[in-house]
Amino acid sequence: MLQCGDLATAACSGDEALNSLERRSVIGLAGLYAMRMLGLFMVIPVFMLLGRDLEGATDFTLGLAIGVYGLSQAVLQIPFGFLADRWGRKPVIVGGLLLFAAGSVIAALATSVEMVILGRLLQGSGAISAAVLALLTDLTREEQRTKAMAVIGMTIGLSFAVALVLGPLLGDWFGLAGLFWFTAGMALLGIPVTLWVVPTPAHSQPNRESGVVQNELVAALRNKDLLRLDMGIFTLHMALTGLFVAIPLTLTRQLSVEQSDHWMVYLSVMGLGFIAMVPFVIIAEKKRRMREVFLGAILTLSIAAFSMYWTSQSLVWFWLSLFGFFMAFNLLEATLPSLISKVCPPGGKGSAMGIYSSSQFFGAFIGGVLGGFVAQVADLSGVYLIVALLGLLWWIIARTMPPIRYATSFVLKLQAVEPGRASEILADLLAIPGVEDATVIVNEQTAYLKVDKTILDEQALLQYRFAAR
């Protein structure tokens, strides 16, 4: 699940509200995300149960079917972003939705697990996240973009939670094929939303904070602090997908929870887990204790998985273990993008987030494969143990992270100036109190800054002699 935005940057977005075009754009694109994410994730909590009747179904092949969408998502995430720059945002989004719908139809008609794997692979190939974010950038003003990204981010998180609840309910009513037909319908519904609900921008504009830039990718791949966070999101989603190989089977086989009642378990642990993580987000950002909260969440994740290993015979204790996992998961989903924003250089956030998103989806793929393999050659408790050990390894690696800079991204539009004045503008901006780092791209008439909001002289920045009026 792509999370878009720095929890701290809202302070730089100003108090002005979204205008009518921006509201329409945000509502339409958030709805598009919701429809697509529901389709991707509804199958996850029930596939290990409903897929048993498919020809060729084993724990390994079912785990592969759960996670394989992540492989095509990871591979095509960045290329689709480049195609959106070349062919246009809406054509790429519509093409991605058609691929997603086609994969859903193949999975709905499948009688073998191999055909479902093919369908899920095709579903993932509709990797439109970068194109959607680029379109959002085109349709929103700079000072409102953080607010718009936050709405999209919340929509993604909410869609995942709703999918965990709807999946067991719809699966019980309509079966596995019904889930995939519902998914195909949601994807096709997204096409008119894209074409006629979401406005068409007059022109596309480059923005290094939300889009991938080719020459920035190499720098992001060489940045060990960013790579440490990429490894983190990889591990987090590997753990999530791996656990959903084991959790539904544990609830049904060992705890005697009817499949039709699984939604109550997921709703309670996700809902309460989200509420419980909110104070920690506030402490991390407002009290500047991000490192401690982040490391504590990773350790909680690992302990919760260890607890699932020991408590799979007691519904109450297993529920408490799930609650601990999802509280930590929600917290890490919120803080990891914030850390990416703090660590990446000015103007490098879009490229850093592109690699981050690919790492997230590749982790989901490996989680499904690994979880299915371990469940088949060992047992369900082995899946919990592997996830716990991977979480512990992540905690050990994360402890090497340096002190966190609480800098916020700030984009300043510039007047048209000669290319030779870039170094002069850079020096001027770095002299303004609170500006910690800057990248000036003269041909884009933009300066990308990292600022410390607590000491930033924002008036001096906005009244800078070369700032666009």
Per-residue pLDDT in tens (0 to 9) along the chain, 469 residues = 444 444 334 433 444 678 888 889 999 998 888 888 888 889 999 999 999 999 999 999 999 999 999 999 999 988 988 888 888 889 999 999 999 999 999 999 999 999 999 999 999 998 888 888 888 888 887 777 778 887 887 888 888 889 999 999 999 999 999 999 999 999 999 999 999 999 988 777 666 776 777 778 888 889 999 999 999 999 999 999 999 999 999 999 999 999 889 999 999 999 899 899 989 989 988 888 899 999 999 999 999 999 998 988 899 999 999 999 999 999 999 899 889 888 888 888 888 888 999 999 999 999 999 999 999 998 899 999 999 999 999 999 999 999 888 888 888 888 888 878 888 899 989 989 889 998 888 888 888 888 888 888 888 888 888 888 7
Rounded Cα distance, 246 and 380, in Å: 5
Q: Are strands 446-451 and 408-413 parallel, antiparallel or unpaired?
A: antiparallel
Element (H, E) at 447: strand 446-451
Residue with tokens 């070349």: 86
- The predicted pLDDT at position 413 comes to 85
Distance of CA 61 to the CA centre of its chain: 25
Residue range(s) in the chain whose domain bears CATH number 1.20.1250.20: 9-398
> What's this model's pTM, rounded to 2 decimal places?
0.90
Q: How many CA atoms lie within 13 A of 28 on its CB side?
A: 25
Helix (H) / strand (E) containing 409: strand 408-413
C-alpha distances out from residue 278 to 131, 291, 303, Å? 30, 16, 20
What is the 3 state secondary structure string of 294-325? Answer: HHHHHHHHHHHHHHHHHHCCCHHHHHHHHHHH
What whole-number distance in Å separates Cα of residue 317 and Cα of residue 112? 36
- Say what the pLDDT of residue 187 is: 92
* Degrees, nearest 5: CA angle 412-413-419: 110
Whether the CA torsion 372, 360, 128, 77 is positive or negative: it is negative
Q: Please give the class, per CATH, of domain 408-462.
A: alpha beta
Contact 93, 128 (CB under 8 A): yes
SS (H, E, C) 310-364: HHCCCHHHHHHHHHHHHHHHHHHHHHHHHHHHHHCCCCCHHHHHHHHHHHHHHHH
Residue 157's pLDDT is 81
At 205 the pLDDT is 67
- In terms of CATH architecture, what is 9-398? Up-down Bundle (1.20)
The CATH 3.30.70.100 domain(s) of the chain lie at: 408-462
Q: How far is CA 69 from CA 24, 58, 98, 338, in A?
A: 30, 18, 15, 26
| Cα–Cα distance measured from residue 6 to residue 110, given in angstroms and rounded to the nearest whole number | 41
Site of tokens 């139809």: 105
DSSP character at residue 3? -
